[in-house]
Structure 1
Amino acid sequence: MRSLVLVLALISFSSHAFATSAEEVKQKTAEAASAAAEYSKEQKEEFQKDMETKLGSMKKEIAEMKAEASKKTGEAKAEMNDQIKALEKKQEEMKKDLAKMKKSSGKAWGEMKAGMSKAWDAISDSYGKAKAHLSEEK
């Protein structure tokens, strides 16, 4: 009888310990999920600020290119203006994508980040080529 009481006491104790552990696991899981969401939000905000800064810099650089193009004449001027218009179009698309990304959440923002990074690489490359072309013609 004593051993039966002892076994019942152990079972009771272990199930109580398990219940506490399960509750702790739920709490820790919820805390981890919350921390991950907060980290993702911080990454998103940091990426947005970085893109806004880059787009602001690009706007200034395009303005400088316009000033340089205005000094050109003929075909060189027309070509530079075409390149500037193409850059401005890409820049506007990036602004629209950034506005969409600000409204996105979770997995969607991660996918948009990848797309915007590729688009930024493309616009940076286009700007570099246009700038180099402008320098060649000086």
Structure 2
Amino acid sequence: MNHNDSAANSVIASQLVADNARLQILPKHFGAHHLYVENLVFVFARTLVPTYRGGYWRFYELSNGGFYMAPEMASARVCVEGNGFEGELTADAIGITVCLFAFSHGSFVLTGHAGETCARHYTWLREYSWLHPEQSLISAAID
């Protein structure tokens, strides 16, 4: 499944991870710290999305080397206390936003290779977010 909405997205494409590859994908991208990074995503989802109560997440790999997760849910309000952002985002944009927060946090709290890996994933996902139809909302949420 190609997750592109416009020709501009062909620069960096996202691909839905098949169900039979889900167990390997987080270790592939985050090594021994994959459970920590996954937990960070869930923590930021609970923090930023008042209506989030858990559920199934879809995994996506990016053609630039990146990765993100998106919850299977309807659009929802995202509230960022630190910058005053409040807006309605689709599940895909919520996933990108939450992962950007998680990867950024991981880049500061994890040391050595693990922190560098989170920083790289932040950069790759940020590049992809610039091509997303909800780019302005994602950028406002993370600024």
TM-score, length of structure 2 as denominator length = 0.30
Query: Higher strand fraction: Structure 1 or Structure 2?
Result: 2
Structure exhibiting the larger radius of gyration computed from Cα positions: 1
Query: Higher helix fraction: Structure 1 or Structure 2?
Result: 1
